[in-house]
Amino acid sequence: MRRGLLRLSVLLGVLTLGVQKIASAEDTTRQYQLARGEGGTRLELVEVPMPVAGPNEVLVRVRASSLNRRDTMMVAGQYPGGGSGGIPLSDGAGEVIAVGEGVTRFGIGDRVAGIFFAGWVDGERDAAKLASARGGGATGMLSEVVVSHEDGLVRIPDHLSFEQAATLPCAGVTAYVVLFKHGGLEAGEYVLLEGTGGVSSFGLVFSVAAGARPIITSSSDEKLARARELGAFGTVNYVTNENWQREVRALTGDHGVDHVLEVGGRDTLQKAIEALAYDAHIGLIGGLSGFAPSIPVGTLMQLGTEVTGIYVGSREDFEAMNAFIEEHEIVPVVDRVFEFEDAPAAFDFMENGSFFGKIVIRH
């Protein structure tokens, strides 16, 4: 394995680069860490001692990881958990290279992905489970090798590459939980997807596989054309159609949408509500434009709308999603793959907003 020490920095979206070689050593590995300096938080690639698998732990050679909006917010100092010394990224996939005493779920050579909440195996969420989110702490995945409790991993579908599987833990599970666990998605139903990022792209391919009718919005006609190639029932440009919710309703024959993956927040929620069918479901996922200051409770009551706050899901949810992916041979949408040494450029690429689907780093 090639060894060296590269120091690369992302400082509020500005990339700086320095390189320093060090001696080869088989008992070390490389990882990115969040470092704080005079100008703010930056990414730093460092050499660290090789972790050891303790009792019930597994050592994973990470082959790929992927970005979510949460990760760029950590680097910008806009998200809790981005402390100095923490390892970025919640999402990663690789192969087991060592197992500790008492491990029964995995063996050497197994292909695995880390679950988003390392401590949420099943059941309802609670404070302790939500505190176990990967990324920004010691359990981040932007490392050549990570150690994890065996309960914090799942096997990945055989037909997926490591790069594709690395996109699943956050965006994939989120979209699946909204549509199927809480939404009960059925064939023929209309699904509103806002934008073409990770969650929305998973919502698109999942809806198509389920025989539903996804309608997706974007500011880019090129991205909308790509969405139609992937099976979108309808597409709407929200820049050229200021009242895009009306066009969404028209696409449904004025029935309205049965499901909404609400990632936009303040600028989209009210319009999404105007596009709703009766007895629809809204999954509140994010706030790319900030969070709406109020929700029209009276309107939602009249429509019989169910609203669920979504924060990814459990290992049980991940495994249910994997079964669905395998059944339908679904392939995640990957926009671009960066090499490990170019990880800061992947963060910059996410910031510019030109991607469709997921951004991946190959380790």
- Same-domain pairing of 227 and 282: yes
pLDDT for the residue 12? 30
How far, CA to CA in Å, does 245 sit from each of 217, 261, 270, 281, 347? 10, 14, 9, 16, 31
What is the number of H-type helices and E-type strands within the chain?
11, 17
193 has which bridge partners? 216, 261
Q: Are residues 254 and 129 in the same domain?
A: no
- What are the percentages of helix, strand and coil residues in the chain, rounded to 5? 30, 30, 40
Q: Is the dihedral of CA 86, 88, 90, 91 positive or negative?
A: negative
Residue 354 lies in a domain: no
pLDDT digits (tens, 9 = 90+) for 262-285: 997 777 899 999 999 999 999 999
| Residue 160 and residue 183 share a domain | no
pLDDT for res 296: 82
> Residues 22, 150: one domain?
yes
Looking at the structure, tell me whether residues 158 and 218 fall in a common domain: no
**181 and 147 in a common domain:** no
Find tokens 């030109």 and name the residue.
Answer: 354
- Rounded to the nearest integer, the mean pLDDT of the chain is 90
User: How long, in residues, is the chain?
Assistant: 363
* Tokens describing residue 252: 């449904």
Would you say residue 24 lies in a domain? Answer: yes
Q: Does the pLDDT value for residue 210 go beyond 80?
A: yes
Kindly indicate the confidence band of residue 83, based on its pLDDT and cuts at 50, 70 and 90.
low
Domain end among 144, 166, 188: 166
CA 106, chain centre distance (Å): 24
User: Has residue 10 got a pLDDT over 50?
Assistant: no
* Res 4: pLDDT: 36
Residue 82 covered by a domain: yes
Residues 128 and 215 placed together within one structural domain of the fold: no
Q: How far apart are CA 358 and CA 67, in angstroms?
A: 7
Give yes or no: residues 44 and 158 share one domain: yes
Specify if 245 maps to a domain: yes
For residues 135 and 24, state if they share a domain. Answer: yes
Name the strand (E) or helix (H) holding 269: helix 269-274
**How many whole angstroms separate alpha carbon 231 and alpha carbon 180?**
19
Assess if residue 233 is contained within a domain.
yes
Q: How far apart are CA 116 and CA 175, in angstroms?
A: 14
Supply the CATH number for residue 37's domain.
3.90.180.10
Q: Which of 293, 309, 325 is the last residue of a domain?
A: 309
Over range 167-194, report the average pLDDT. Answer: 98
d(CA 195, CA 183): 20
* DSSP assignments along 224-272, one per residue: HHHHHHTT-SEEEETTT-TTHHHHHHHHTTTS-EEEEEE-S-TTTHHHH
This prediction has a pTM of: 0.90
Q: How many CB atoms lie within 10 A of CB 23?
A: 9
Domain end (from 166, 192, 210) = 166
Specify whether 162 is located in the same domain as 176: no
Tell me: do 126 and 200 sit in the same domain: no
Domain encompassing residue 137: 5-166
Distance CA 323, CA 156 (A): 10
Q: Is residue 320 part of a domain?
A: no
**What's the rounded Cα separation, in Å, for the pair 76 and 98?**
35
Judge if 60 and 162 occupy the same domain: yes
Number of structural domains the chain divides into: 2
Residue 341 is assigned to a structural domain of this protein? no
Residue 220, phi then psi, degrees to nearest 5: -120, 120
Q: What CATH number has the domain bearing residue 195? A: 3.40.50.720
More confident residue, 21 or 267: 267
